[in-house]
Amino acid sequence: MEKHEILVVDDDQHLRMVLNQTLEASGYQVLVAESGEEALSILKEHPVELIITDLMMPGIKGIELVGKAREQYPDLGAIVITAYGTIERAVEAMQNGAFDFITKPFSISQIESRVQRYFEYQKLRLENQTLKRKIQNYQIETQIIGESPAIKEVINYIDIVAKSDATVFIRGESGTGKELVAQAIHDRSDRADKPFRKINCAAVPETLFESTLFGHEKGSFSGAYRQQKGIFEESNEGTILLDEISEIPYALQAKLLRVLQEMKVTRVGSTTEIPIDVRIIATTNRDVDELINSSKFREDLFFRLNVFPITIPPLRKRKEDIPLLIDHFIEAFKPKYHYDKKVIAPSLMQKILNYDWPGNVRQLKHMIERALLFSGKEEMITEKHFRFEEEGNRNGNKTSAIPDEVIPLAEMERRMILAALKQTNNHRTKAAELLGITVRTLRNKLNEYEQKGLLEG
């Protein structure tokens, strides 16, 4: 069995020796330091699980040592030794992250029991993390709904890749659940208790892209009033989801590629390289091959991202999952809308199955919620509660006739954009997804309409 490692820090040579001998006799591996400065130096070369430090020492005091050490090693435990008159300071040390404190004079049995209690606590904490991960995995299985071969294949791919650190590239139309799959991969990975940061690449202004991803130093550009870590640093030891990565400006793709290859970032305004340890998941709803052929996406970046590809099928190719999804959404909305039972009329279900669902699972979810609102206290949801989007499906079954009024395409585009914004309560990212365009394109169109005074419907 691997021995637990402890660092003893005390300027009293006799006490250091006693603690060293006591803990080694109890089966621990012990390092010693006579000052806070020496302790920090040792930790750089030899991280340990627990430090036992005197509170009052020349130079770096115990409280400061605990703070500095845990800043570098957040999982490091600390027990503080204090004289009776400085108990308040010991309590302050605990507030700064110390696990416990021991007052002088103390017996050998006291130090042994405190150390044993710490490692028992750590064992319990790890067991709780394991249990939490199992619960998360169960929740994932209930969120990714479906029994179709296509969705079962996706779930199988998640199981295969989750425990590795392989970069995952998820493709799929808007609304198919790419972010849900990314979350599932993170939750089933060994990084599940570490950060999971998401960035919608389509929503970041081009001028702020580099700073957002890699961070910046104070004064590096106008508005940089303080040092700021980028998403890569904030995600250290965890997972980054680069959502809609195909929207990253071409000029920055080479910098992203270098970061992915070297796992080092350089903040804007700095020359210092900062090592990082992150797992990358990227998504897109665009045709990457077409983007590469038109020189809008770097082929070498694509190869670096496409280590483990997953393609999520559109809803129209797994229609056997639609009844299961509807049951799931009806159950999920119960607490929000306070009903006991809701069912879909068979005639409506047939129409739902015949519809082509261009907005995929997200569109189905929103339309079920809308139908629940329209149904009020009625138990049966029928056609009168369910209005399909005004577009034809790929089977030729149209939900609305061709309008009698013929209008210019530009005006039709403007009306569709305003309708999408109204439907999403002016949420630009969601509106862009409904329209199948990027947020940047939507923003440019709205600026154009504002200049021409065309924003009102």
Which tens digit of pLDDT belongs to each residue from 305-335? 999 999 999 999 999 999 999 999 999 888 8
Question: Is the domain of 266 the same as that of 160?
Answer: yes
Question: Is the domain of 306 the same as that of 195?
Answer: yes
Question: Is the domain of 157 the same as that of 115?
Answer: no
Question: Is the domain of 67 the same as that of 114?
Answer: yes
- Whole-angstrom CA distances from 214 to 206, 414, 415 are 14, 36, 38
DSSP state for residue 208 in the 8-state scheme: G
Distance CA 456, CA 73 (A): 55
- Range 202-220 average pLDDT: 85
Average pLDDT, the chain: 85
pLDDT of 81 > 90? The answer is no
Q: How confident is the model at residue 133 (pLDDT cuts 50, 70, 90)?
A: low
Count how many domains the chain has: 4
- Whole-angstrom CA distances from 445 to 277, 426, 434 are 39, 14, 15
Q: How confident is the model at residue 176 (pLDDT cuts 50, 70, 90)?
A: very high
Determine, yes or no, domain membership for 399: no
Q: Tell me the residue range of the domain where 183 lies.
A: 144-311
Question: Is the domain of 329 the same as that of 271?
Answer: no
Q: State the amino acid at position 124 in one-letter form.
A: L
Query: Which H or E element spans position 87?
Result: helix 87-95
Determine, yes or no, domain membership for 97: yes
Contact 232, 213 (CB under 8 A): yes
pLDDT computed for residue 76 by the predictor: 87
Pairing assessment for the beta strands 228-229 and 215-216 based on DSSP bridges: antiparallel
pLDDT of 394 > 60? The answer is no
* Residue 445, domain CATH: 1.10.10.60
Question: Is the domain of 292 the same as that of 268?
Answer: yes
Question: Is the domain of 340 the same as that of 420?
Answer: no
Q: Kindly report the pTM of this predicted structure.
A: 0.58
Comparison of pLDDT for 412 and 185, the residue scoring more:
185
Question: Is the domain of 12 the same as that of 110?
Answer: yes
Distance CA 7, CA 42 (A): 9
pLDDT computed for residue 103 by the predictor: 80
* Residue 334, domain CATH: 1.10.8.60
Token output for 331: 């159950």
Determine, yes or no, domain membership for 50: yes
Contact 50, 77 (CB under 8 A): yes
Q: Among residues of the chain, what percentage have pLDDT more than 70?
A: 89
Question: Is the domain of 336 the same as that of 436?
Answer: no
Question: Is the domain of 431 the same as that of 371?
Answer: no
pLDDT of 424 > 90? The answer is no
* Residue 58, domain CATH: 3.40.50.2300
Domain endpoint, select from 70, 91, 124: 124
Question: Is the domain of 424 the same as that of 307?
Answer: no
